[in-house]
Amino acid sequence: MSVTEVLNAVLVLALVGFVLYRQTIARPVVVRRQLVLPVVLGVIGIVAISHVDNGKLSATAGEYLGIDLMASLVLGAVRGCFVRVYSRDGVLWRQGGIVTVALWVVSIGVRALVAILASNAGVGGISNAALELTLGVTLLAQNAVIMLRGSRLGIPFAPDGTRRRSRYRSYSE
């Protein structure tokens, strides 16, 4: 393993840990915050993919990339169905629980399986390069379902700049 691969693995583990932690804390749903991280990760992933095989992906690499992205999309949407959405202080809040974390573990397992299969098929580079893109896609799908569920309940999104506050304080303080 090269230093770059080790640093990338450490960065990804830190990011996954951060995402899992944030899944379990109650937070107001601010649209901008629901979109920024998935979009940034998506851009990083697309740039990484463009460097695989000098930007000329084989059909097999494309198939594994498609499987990886579809699995990420579906599993993210399913997770979004299990995140608790509710009104607090007149705005939409979200909080994941044990089911959300368990579904993240399933998502990681599916992604690892796809990466192993891609590697065995000789196109493991695409799976490695697509890591940030698939993470962005799964977060975007999850967040979209959460926002849709909140909209259907008629709960407004929190305004930009809203921060998580102690459960014992209100926004009017």
Give CA separation, 121 vs 63, 67, 117, in Å: 11, 14, 6
93: helix, strand or coil? strand
Q: Are 20 and 105 in contact (CB under 8 A)?
A: no
Instruction: Measure the CA–CA gap between 4 and 81, rounded to whole angstroms.
Output: 36
Q: What is this structure's pTM?
A: 0.84
Q: Residue 76's closest CA among 23, 21, 150?
A: 23
Q: Are 137 and 66 in contact (CB under 8 A)?
A: no
91: helix, strand or coil? strand
E-only strand ranges, the chain: 27-28, 84-88, 91-95
Q: What string of pLDDT tens digits covers the 173 residues of the chain?
A: 678 878 877 887 887 788 788 889 999 999 999 999 999 999 999 999 998 887 788 999 999 999 999 999 999 999 999 999 999 999 999 999 999 999 999 999 999 999 999 999 999 888 888 989 999 999 999 999 999 999 999 999 999 877 655 444 444 43
